Amino acid sequence: MSEEKSTRLQKGYWFDNPFKIGQKRAEIFSDLYINRTRLTLEKDNFHPEVIVEFYLNQPNATYRIDEALALLRIGTGFFKEDKFVDSWGKLIVKALYNGEKAKIGEPVIIVEGDYQHFCHLVPIAQKILAGRFEITEAITRDGIQLPIYYCRDDLNKKSLEETIRWGIVPEDLITVYGSAAIAASKFITSSSVSIIPVVSLDKNCINAAYKITRMTAQQQWGVCFKKMDEIEISDLNLIKKFRKKLDKSSFGWVKIMLLTGLSGLKNPNVLKAIKAKQFPIDVVGLTDYSASYEYNSRIVPINGKPKYIENPRLKIVK
């Protein structure tokens, strides 16, 4: 191991604070639903090999790369009989250096390996890269606590909050299982809580959401459309089309949730339309993940020939 590689991972403050290392390994700062992703994979003894890419939402110089890598270094692994087993050495990690410029969508860190061993670290690393970790610790420590705007007055708000807290099936779990129905059947949650599959709000969302609904309708409270970038009226029209498709297919009881960040509601016309209940949205949830925080991540299962963005500028991290 070169001196450059060995010193690179000593700069993050995680290495200087054993208490913080213990907290990361115990997962208490990770999102509740991400922790349940890991519990689901562990219970099912499923070890999906994946590639996770961290990338920029806007062109910029990269910062906090070493700190995010340090987190992955000390937190990757699993507990066996209350003893932490470090599995960092089984990952393939590549990254840019702090200060290097990156384009929109260009990976700045790529992690390849057993997703079960590092999935709980992905959202925290993303926040570190974006410089938002200290702010969001308090929000995520006790799980998902979304500011919720209720678009319908007849909803049981207490019951709905419990459903949102426990029932959202993460996108990453659907991705690694390759099926919303399988992910829903494996997902660890309370048996009394209905599930809410998450679907990206894009041009393919209507067919994707309808397919999920047909497979999981009996377990389902509704569908959550997620978009962190700025939402346009055209996006809301997609939701309207999906509502019509549901009603036509006797799924009128399935509800619709919109999940976004603060930057998603920058368009005043969109915000006005939602408040005026011009579109069939039952609930809007605001999460602390936001495109304005600069960084995002995507997961690619290693199955056959994975489709991901190559970046020859990335250097191996050991």
Distance in angstroms (rounded) separating the CA atoms of residues 202 and 310: 24
Pick the CATH number of 148-286 from 3.40.1350.10, 3.20.20.70, 1.25.10.10, 3.40.50.720: 3.20.20.70
Least confident of 31-40, 101-110, 215-224, 226-235: 31-40
* Tokens at 248, concatenated: 């036509």
Q: How does residue 134 score in pLDDT terms, banded at 50, 70 and 90? A: very low
Q: Say yes or no to pLDDT of 126 above 90.
A: no
Can you give the pLDDT at residue 277? 85
Q: Say yes or no to pLDDT of 95 above 90.
A: yes
Cβ atoms of 247 and 221 within 8 Å: the answer is: no
Can you give the pLDDT at residue 162? 64
Cβ atoms of 69 and 317 within 8 Å: the answer is: yes
Q: What is the DSSP letter of 195?
A: B
Q: Mean pLDDT over all residues of the chain?
A: 77
Q: Say yes or no to pLDDT of 201 above 50.
A: yes
Cβ atoms of 95 and 28 within 8 Å: the answer is: no
Average pLDDT over residues 100-113: 90
Q: CA end-to-end span of the chain, whole Å?
A: 8
Q: Say yes or no to pLDDT of 193 above 60.
A: yes
User: Which of the pair, 61 or 288, is modelled with greater confidence?
Assistant: 61
Beta strands in 59-173 (DSSP E): 60-61, 77-80, 83-86, 92-95, 101-102, 107-114, 148-150, 168-169
Distance in angstroms (rounded) separating the CA atoms of residues 245 and 208: 12
Distance in angstroms (rounded) separating the CA atoms of residues 88 and 86: 6
Q: What are the residue ranges of CATH 3.20.20.70 in the chain? A: 148-286
Q: Say yes or no to pLDDT of 28 above 60.
A: no
**Which top CATH class is 3-140+293-317?**
alpha beta
Q: How many CB atoms lie within 10 A of CB 208?
A: 18
> Do the bridges between strand 168-169 and strand 196-200 make them parallel or antiparallel, or are there none, so unpaired?
parallel
| DSSP-assigned beta bridge partners for residue 113 | 50
> Do the bridges between strand 255-260 and strand 283-286 make them parallel or antiparallel, or are there none, so unpaired?
parallel
Distance in angstroms (rounded) separating the CA atoms of residues 51 and 261: 25
User: Which of the pair, 25 or 150, is modelled with greater confidence?
Assistant: 25
Q: What is the DSSP letter of 97?
A: P
User: Which of the pair, 215 or 132, is modelled with greater confidence?
Assistant: 215
Q: What are the residue ranges of CATH 3.90.1170.20 in the chain? A: 3-140+293-317
